[in-house]
Amino acid sequence: MHKGMTKLFYLLALLASAASGAYAQVADTVVHAEGKIIHALTKELITARITYKSLPYGNVIGTLNTSNYTFPLYFNDKYSIEVVAPGFLPAKYMIDPAEANNNKRVIRDIELTAGNIHEVKHEVGKVLRLNNLIFEVGKSRIEAESYHELDLVVRMMNDNPKMIIQLEGHTDFLGSADENMKLSEARVEAVKKYLVDKRIEKNRIKTKAFGGTAPLSRDNTPEAHRLNRRVELRILAN
């Protein structure tokens, strides 16, 4: 039977069990994700929009607006979760039911960083992910939608004239390891060129390519591969 149909029948069974009064017993077998959305610096609760979906096909999708979230991880699927709040950088995570505790709970508190990238506290060693940096598929050409975020990097470096950064390029782990390394190197060099063209001194920008050797997730799903393809900015000096 197709996996999607199996899940549909399971959901119908849950509804039927609710009608028969047996829902609590069935629900006890389901793993739940739960946690708080908090300010990374002040640790205060933040009300955020939380969007979650099952992986890899998104058969189950939901949205919450809260500072304390909980939702079921049906079928023992992994789920992606995206957290967005006004005035904060967005956060994206993956939640794995295999990490559940003895109470069938995956506890994940999510910290949000205030402001745009140039407003983040600039401690040496801090790593910032450029979430809105978009390249052509399989290429190093930067899409125009990325310019706003890169201009924020320019502003951050102009506001902090002693800052030295390292751009770190990552791909997914599909395909040739050598080609992935070359692609990640080409992409960070393209970002460096953009910043230098905006009159940031090139000796303030280091680059490092990782290819697919440092993935955020080892899952072989489209969502996991998308998360793994990224450029991060590490502050080396300030």
Concatenating the DSSP letter of every residue in 159-199 gives HSTT-EEEEEEE--S-S-HHHHHHHHHHHHHHHHHHHHHTT
What is the reported pLDDT for 89?
Answer: 78
Tally of domains within the chain: 2
What is the reported pLDDT for 115?
Answer: 63
Whether the CB-CB separation of 113 and 131 falls below 8 Å is answered with no
53 plus 123 within the same structural domain: no
Place of tokens 């793994």: 228
140 plus 103 within the same structural domain: no
Name the pTM for this structure: 0.56
Structural domain for 108, as ranges: 3-112
What is the reported pLDDT for 195?
Answer: 97
What is the reported pLDDT for 118?
Answer: 57
Domain boundary among 87, 112, 137: 112
Q: Which residue ranges in the chain fall short of pLDDT 50? A: 1, 3, 5, 19-26
What is the reported pLDDT for 58?
Answer: 82
Domain boundary among 90, 112, 134: 112
Per DSSP, the three-state class of 54 is strand
The CA dihedral of 174, 180, 164, 83, to the nearest 10 degrees, is: -20
Domain boundary among 80, 112, 144: 112
Whether the CB-CB separation of 55 and 224 falls below 8 Å is answered with yes
Q: Pairing between strand 31-39 and 105-107?
A: parallel
Distance CA 218, CA 160 (A): 36
What is the reported pLDDT for 211?
Answer: 92
What is the reported pLDDT for 75?
Answer: 84
142 plus 191 within the same structural domain: yes
126 plus 155 within the same structural domain: yes
